[in-house]
Every structure is written in C-alpha cells, then in structure tokens.
Amino acid sequence: MKYEKPALTFAEQADRLLARGLVADHTELLNVLKSVNYYRLSAYWYTFRIAGDPDDRLRPETTLKMVWDRYVFDRQLRLLVMDAIERVEVAIHTQIVNRHTPDHALTRDFVRAEH
C-alpha cells in the first residue's frame, strides 16, 4: 500500500498551519515543529478546527500559544500521573516483599552458593 500524502518539510508544515489560520511567528512555529513534530501537536489544535471545513482551517484567533499551552498541560499531567503510578508500584512492591520475605527468605549461604 502506497502512502498518498507527500512528506512536508518543517517550513512547509509551518506554511500549511499558517494558511489554515494559526496565528504564529513563522520562526517560532518552525522551532516548535522541529522539537515536537506536526502530528504530535495536531492533537492539540484539533479542537480548534472549524467543524466540517474541507480545508481543515482553524477557528479565527487560534494562536500557537494556545496550542502550546495545551501541549505543556498534557505533558505536566502525564508526568504527575507517572509519578503517582510509580509511588503506588513501589508501595505495592514493598508490601509484597514484606509479606513474602519472612516465610521464604533466601539464606546468605544460598545466595552465595555457586550454581
């Protein structure tokens, strides 16, 4: 199966977004696209699209800052969630080890034994 959409350079991606109505400085937009790619960011401007528009234009006054703020919020939320998951994982692991070790602890001799 051949992919029909042509690959776009960062500059062409920026031009496309500006043509669709994104309010942004071209150089700043290029830098953002080079660090966080077009398709990753597209999820954050999706809700700014004009519903049913065949050209996927964005609502008037949609700025790069608005899109970027959503991206940053999502990134920070993801980090908070991962931190919480890690704390729960460590707590559960600690309880399992604490309950299992007294009955099934390996002796030092067993650990040092050559197999």
Tell whether 37 is covered by a domain.
yes
Contacts 24+ apart (CB under 8 A), 71-78: 71/36, 71/40, 71/41, 71/44, 74/44
Tell whether 55 is covered by a domain.
yes
Tell whether 2 is covered by a domain.
no
Tell whether 114 is covered by a domain.
no
What total of structural domains would you count in the chain?
1
pLDDT in tens, 61-104: 999 999 999 999 999 999 999 999 999 999 999 898 888 777 76
Q: What's the confidence (pLDDT) of residue 102?
A: 73
How confident is residue 109, by pLDDT bands cut at 50, 70 and 90? low
Mean pLDDT of 33-44: 95
Q: What's the confidence (pLDDT) of residue 41?
A: 96
Q: What's the confidence (pLDDT) of residue 55?
A: 94
42 closest CA partner among 4, 79, 5: 5
Task: State pTM to two decimals.
Answer: 0.74
Mean pLDDT of 41-65: 96
- What is the C-alpha separation between 22 and 14, in angstroms, rounded? 9
